[in-house]
Amino acid sequence: MEKIIEVNGLEKIYKKKKTKEIVKAVDGVSFDVYRGEILGLLGPNGAGKTTTIKSICGLLKPNGGSVHINGFDSNKERLKAVNYITAVLEGNRNIYWRLTVRENMEYFAGNRGISKKAIQGKIEELLEFFNLKGKENELVSSLSRGMQQKLAIAIALLPGTDVILLDEPTLGLDVETSYEVRELLKKIVNEQGKTIIISTHDMPIVQEICDRAVIINGGKVIADEKVEGLIKLFETRAYCFTVEDELTNQQIMAIENHFLIVNIIENEINVTLEKEDDLYLIMDILKSEQTKIEKIDRTTVDFEQVFMQLIKEGNNHDSAVASH
């Protein structure tokens, strides 16, 4: 598959204005984006997602590393590189609330050098596609949050760039609108061959539409895998033990101390093992009190559980390294 974006060893340092404290927001991030995929850029709050996205679309100058878009170095050939990209940043602050829907669309097309006349056909098409027909002469400030978000994505599609970066596109949307946005994004990729990078905390959306996930934590990449592959990998490690008697407090503590993701409800122990040998460890804990096992089942996992486990494992690893 053809690489459309290559991020290599990206670094960004911020200096806090008040305290002069130095924050390494992005610390050597590398990943590739392939043409026609939806890539999820994920991580907990403060992980460095927005900083990475802003560096890719040329809104921030990184302190180190490089970003290539369609082969163009975004630092050395910025204008050529960013020509392939549009971005919708957090909280759709990139649209003008005092302008109407149509005025916004014409303004942003103009910003990209497309004349008002030349863009009319495309505007009609996008209004239709995003179900915004009939709203074109309303002020953005009078639209609902979901409509504003759809308009922001429509504006990103106006110049017809290959790549669209979306930072938290479903933040604050109700379930129905979030679903609508999700379906629209799938359509954009399937019907128009676009490439999308989406940063989100909405794990069901990742499971539903992303091909691959790049997970960052503390400014570093901790996973870069196919979403389906990650779920499968974790499914081989997720078990549910049904036991005859409730566990003693000591047993519960032993299990909880050893495993990061455990859920014990009465006679059921749901646990994600970190390695295969861990199965014997649980058996030993059960055996220590002669607890009878009724059955052992494999359980299904969703992407949210996978994400949480990866973050926890990463944090655990870090604290283990720090204490040495």
Ligand X SMILES: Nc1ncnc2c1ncn2[C@@H]1O[C@H](COP(=O)(O)OP(=O)(O)OP(=O)(O)O)[C@@H](O)[C@H]1O
User: Where along the sequence are the contacts to Mg ion (CB under 5 A)?
Assistant: 49-50
CB of 46 to ligand X, least distance (A): 4
Does the protein bind ligand X through residue 45 (CB under 6 A)? yes
User: Using the rule CB under 6 A, is 43 a contact of ligand X?
Assistant: yes
User: Of 39-47, 150-158, 179-187, 241-249, which part binds ligand X (CB under 6 A)?
Assistant: 39-47
Q: Longest C-alpha distance within the chain, in Å?
A: 80
**Nearest distance in Å: CB 244, ligand X:** 44
The one-letter amino acid at 257: N
Closest separation between CB of residue 316 and ligand X, Å? 20
Q: Please count the residues of this chain forming the interface with ligand X, following the rule CB under 6 A.
A: 12
Q: Which amino acid would we find at residue 99?
A: L
Task: Output 19 or 300, the one with its CB closest to ligand X.
Answer: 19
Q: Name the burial class of residue 130, with classes exposed (0-12), middle (13-18) and buried (19+) by CB atoms within 10 angstroms of its CB.
A: buried
Query: Is residue 16 a contact residue for ligand X (CB under 6 A)?
Result: yes
Residue 100 DSSP label: B
Residue selected from 3, 9, 46, 187 as contacting ligand X according to rule CB under 6 A: 46
Instruction: By CB under 6 A, tell whether 23 contacts ligand X.
Output: yes
Which is nearer to ligand X, 43 or 159 (by Cβ)? 43
In degrees rounded to 5, what are phi and psi of residue 191?
Answer: -90, -30
Q: Of 60 and 296, which has the nearer Cβ to ligand X? A: 60
Of the candidates 48, 62, 159, 314, which one interacts with ligand X according to CB under 6 A?
Answer: 48
Cα 56 to chain centroid distance, Å, stands at: 15
Q: What are phi and psi of 7, to 5 degrees?
A: -105, 125
**Nearest alpha-carbon partner for 190 in 173, 213, 211:** 211
Please identify, among the stretches 43-51, 123-131, 231-239, 264-272, the one whose residues bind ligand X according to the rule CB under 6 A.
Answer: 43-51
CB of 226 to ligand X, least distance (A): 22
Query: What are the start-end ranges of the E strands in the chain?
Result: 3-15, 22-34, 38-42, 64-69, 72-73, 85-88, 163-167, 195-199, 212-217, 220-226, 238-243, 262-265, 268-272, 293-298
Among 217, 178, 210, which Cα is nearest to 52's? 217
| CB closer to ligand X, 27 vs 37 | 27
Question: From the list 37, 39, 49, 164, which residue makes contact with ligand X (rule: CB under 6 A)?
Answer: 49
Sole binder of ligand X in the list 6, 11, 13, 14 (CB under 6 A): 14
Stretch that binds ligand X, among 38-46, 78-86, 179-187, 265-273 (CB under 6 A): 38-46
- The tokens of 170 are what? 């479903």
- Residue in this structure with the two tokens 């690489």, named with its chain if needed: 3
Residue whose CB is less far from ligand X, 55 or 74:
55
- Nearest CA to 139 out of 176, 103, 183, 91 is that of 103
| Residue ranges in contact with ligand X by CB under 6 A | 14, 16, 23, 25, 43, 45-51
